[in-house]
Amino acid sequence: MLTYIIRRLLYSTVVLVLASFLVFTFVTVSGDPLAGLRIAPNVSELTVQNVIDRKHLDDPIPKRYLYWVQDAVTNQFGSTLLDNRPILPELWRVMKNTLQLVLIAQILVIFFAVIIGVYSAIRQYSGFDYTMTTVSFLGLATPVFWLALMAQVAVVQIYERTGHRLFPIANLNSVDPGTGIHFWVDRAHHLVLPVFVLMVAGIAGYSRYMRAAMLEVINSDYVRTARAKGLNERRVMMKHALRNALIPLVTLVALDFGTLLGGAVVTETVFSLDGMGLYFVNALFTNDPYPVMAFLMVTAVMIIIFNLIADIAYGLLDPRVRYD
């Protein structure tokens, strides 16, 4: 197993380097970041040239790539295009915020999805099952950004009619949140709606998956054998059925963790949350390639790492899978 991990890590590093080059080339050739600057009326030639020199924008691509890598590794992930702000501190700040949001949401999603999925499978075709299936379909058909907006609309409409402010509809904290516990309570209050929005699609997807996995297991021969041995239903479900059904889910969850960081882009935008998604979108708007590339690289790393974790987890959980 150890050799497998090492091999995978080496392989992943190569992939990462390749990906970084691809990302760089892709972002660089696809537009002139200075286009906006060039046509701006008050900007002198000298200013523009300064930027070009600083970022080596005149050099051929491979050389620029190396400059970028050097910058990234040694100098806080490089700096923004125009005002030369170091990227790392900002990136770190927004990453922490996003992590709070997505981790809370994901944990809640898994919790509810497993319960709903398992129960739907055990009571297949029951009223609960049908209701949950319809709700899941609804959840999967609802665009996240729209759901976020509707949440805001609902809160505002309720406020207008009843004067009651249910939840904050924007930002991570209020203007003056206080310190210590007050700060975090305020933060939690602000995160309720975003977490809810993220949960809907997540539960919809995972519970269907869990249900399908559980159904397949429930109808398997070895569950029948377990019953034939005289075990009571509860033990059959818990020890034999669930354990097998969870394996694919664990792998799925691990894989999804890789995409979590980049997965809240829309939610953060609608709720104006100071997270990685919003950071990324703003950089796109201002045509600043460096934060864009930093974001893409971070998410790529996360995906690669969690792919590996998913494979390892699968190997640990399912004895039929052995890596050598």
Partner 1 sequence: MPDPILSIRDLTVEFKTEDGIVRAVTDVSYDLMPGEVLGIVGESGSGKSVSMLSILGLSPQGQIPKGEAVYKGDDLLKMPQKQLREIRGGDMAMIFQDPMTSLNPVLTVGNQIIEALLVHNDGMKDDEAQKRAIQLLELVGVPSAERRIDQYPHEFSGGMRQRGMIAMAIANNPSVLIADEPTTALDVTIQAQIVEVLKAARQETHAAIVLITHDLGLIAELADRVVVMYAGRVVELADVFTIFNEPRHPYTVGLMNSIARLDAEQEWLQPIPGQPPSMIAPPPGCAFHPRCTFSRGRLPCRTDVPELRQIGDSAPHVSRCHYAEELAEAQVVAGAAALEEGR
Partner 2 sequence: MTERAPGDDTRAHDREDVAITSFSVGQPASAHGNPGSVAVPEEPIAPLTPALAMGPSEYEAPAADLLAQQAGVEPKARSQWAYARIRFFRHKMAVISLVVLFLICLVAIFAKRVAPYGYDELDLFNITSPPTTTDKHLFGTDLLGRDYLSRVIYGLRTSLWVAFFVAFLSTAIGTTIGSLAGYYGGATDNMLMRFTDLILTLPGLAVLLTAATFFGNGDPLKVGVILALLLWTGIARIVRGVFLSLREKEYVEAAKASGAGDARIILRHMLPNALGPIIVNTTLIIAAAILIEAALSFLGFGIQPPHPSLGTLIDDGQGEGFEKWWLVTFPGLVIVVIALSINFIGDGLRDALDPTQRRVRA
Q: Which residues bind partner 1 (CB under 8 A)?
A: 220-222, 224-232, 240, 243-244, 247, 317-320
**Residue (16 or 223) nearer to partner 1, CB:** 223
| Single-letter residue type at 303 | I
**Could you tell me which residues come within 8 angstroms of residue 69 by beta carbon, excluding any fewer than 6 positions away?**
20
Please spell the DSSP secondary structure of 85-134, one letter per residue: -BHHHHHHHHHHHHHHHHHHHHHHHHHHHHHHHHHHHHTTTSHHHHHHHH
Residue 303 touches which member of partner 2, partner 1, none, C-beta under 5-8 Å by kind: partner 2
CB of 261 closer than 8 Å to CB of 102 = yes
Smallest distance from partner 1 to CB 316, Å:
11
Smallest distance from partner 2 to CB 182, Å:
27
**Residue (198 or 247) nearer to partner 1, CB:** 247
Residue 287 touches which member of partner 2, partner 1, none, C-beta under 5-8 Å by kind: partner 2
Smallest distance from partner 1 to CB 93, Å:
43
Q: Which residues bind partner 2 (CB under 8 A)?
A: 15, 19, 26-27, 30-31, 137-138, 140-146, 149-150, 152-153, 155-157, 160, 219, 259, 262-263, 265-266, 269-270, 280-281, 284-285, 287, 292, 295-296, 299-300, 303-304, 307
**Residue (65 or 314) nearer to partner 1, CB:** 314
In this structure, what DSSP letter does residue 261 have?
A: G
Please tell me the distance from the alpha carbon of residue 211 to that of residue 115, in angstroms, as a whole number. 9
CB of 271 closer than 8 Å to CB of 198 = no
**Residue (148 or 246) nearer to partner 1, CB:** 246
Smallest distance from partner 1 to CB 162, Å:
50
| Single-letter residue type at 311 | D
Residue 204 CB neighbour total at 10 angstroms: 23
